[in-house]
């Protein structure tokens, strides 16, 4: 036996259901359904962490964005991470060059086509008098702007170091 309801009652039920659906949708939008969270949120969170001085958290978030194959922000995250690493390496270089060099190498490995990490890493190698390695790093990219002039500077610096150390034959 089927129950019949009046048109008035059906209208109330329909309005009630529509209200519940709207409430549920607005709650999902306000709190953020996990399904719809994207890497843009992670990028914003990384930038916030960086602005608050939490480089470790920002680095972690940038790397997460880069690992997400569906992300449209992978390139932005990579550039931001390289910038973060280069800044960290420059600060570390003054106190502890042995710790700074792997950071420079990491930055270069993330963006091998970029001149900035290549030149920064070569300069760091030059500061610790690892001239041959510095030249090798610069020679890896034949299209690097500024690398050829830096190679000239490295050869001059190596000559000056050899003269300073009394190794006159090597200075030539």
Q: Which domain holds residue 134?
A: 113-172
For helices 39-51 and 74-95, the axis angle rounded to 10 degrees is 20
Within a domain: 122: yes
Of 111, 130, 148, the domain-final residue: 111
Of 81, 111, 141, the domain-final residue: 111
Of 111, 137, 157, the domain-final residue: 111
In this structure, is the dihedral angle defined by the CA atoms of residues 95, 96, 101 and 102, taken in order, positive or negative?
Answer: negative
117 and 79 fall within a common domain: no
What is the structure's pLDDT at 27?
54
Could you report the per-residue pLDDT of 36-94, keeping only the tens digit for each?
555 558 999 999 999 999 999 999 999 999 998 888 899 999 999 999 999 999 999 99
97 and 63 fall within a common domain: yes
82 and 54 fall within a common domain: yes
Of residues 79 and 24, the one with the higher pLDDT is: 79
Give the mean model confidence (pLDDT) for residues 9-15.
65
Overall domain count for the chain: 2
Token pair in block for residue 46: 């990384």
What is the structure's pLDDT at 126?
97
Tokens 């000559």 belong to residue: 159
Cα dist. 150→14, 147, 155, 161 in Å? Answer: 74, 5, 9, 16
What is the structure's pLDDT at 46?
95
102 and 121 fall within a common domain: no
134 and 149 fall within a common domain: yes
Could you report the per-residue pLDDT of 126-150, keeping only the tens digit for each?
999 999 999 999 999 999 989 999 9
Give the mean model confidence (pLDDT) for residues 83-111.
97
Mean pLDDT, the chain, whole residue set: 86
Give the mean model confidence (pLDDT) for residues 145-161.
94
pTM for the structure as a whole: 0.73
What is the structure's pLDDT at 168?
86
Within a domain: 61: yes
CA distance 41 to 147: 37
What is the structure's pLDDT at 8?
67
Give the mean model confidence (pLDDT) for residues 96-116.
97
pLDDT at 25 over 60: no
């Amino acid at each position: 036996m089927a129950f019949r309801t009046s048109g008035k009652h059906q209208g109330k039920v329909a309005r009630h259901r529509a209200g519940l659906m709207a409430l549920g949708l607005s709650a999902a939008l306000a709190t953020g359904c996990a399904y719809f969270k994207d890497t843009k949120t992670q990028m914003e969170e990384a930038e916030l962490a960086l602005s608050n001085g939490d480089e470790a958290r920002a680095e972690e978030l940038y790397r997460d964005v880069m690992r997400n194959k569906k992300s449209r922000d992978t390139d932005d995250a990579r550039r931001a991470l390289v910038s973060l690493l280069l800044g960290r390496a420059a600060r570390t270089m003054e106190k502890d060059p042995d710790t700074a060099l792997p950071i420079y190498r990491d930055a270069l490995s993330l963006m091998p086509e970029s001149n900035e990490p290549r030149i920064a890493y070569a300069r760091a190698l030059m500061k610790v008098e690892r001239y041959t390695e510095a030249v090798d790093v610069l020679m890896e990219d034949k299209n690097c702007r500024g690398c050829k002039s830096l190679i000239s500077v490295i050869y001059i610096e190596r000559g000056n170091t050899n003269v300073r150390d009394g190794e006159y034959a090597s200075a030539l």
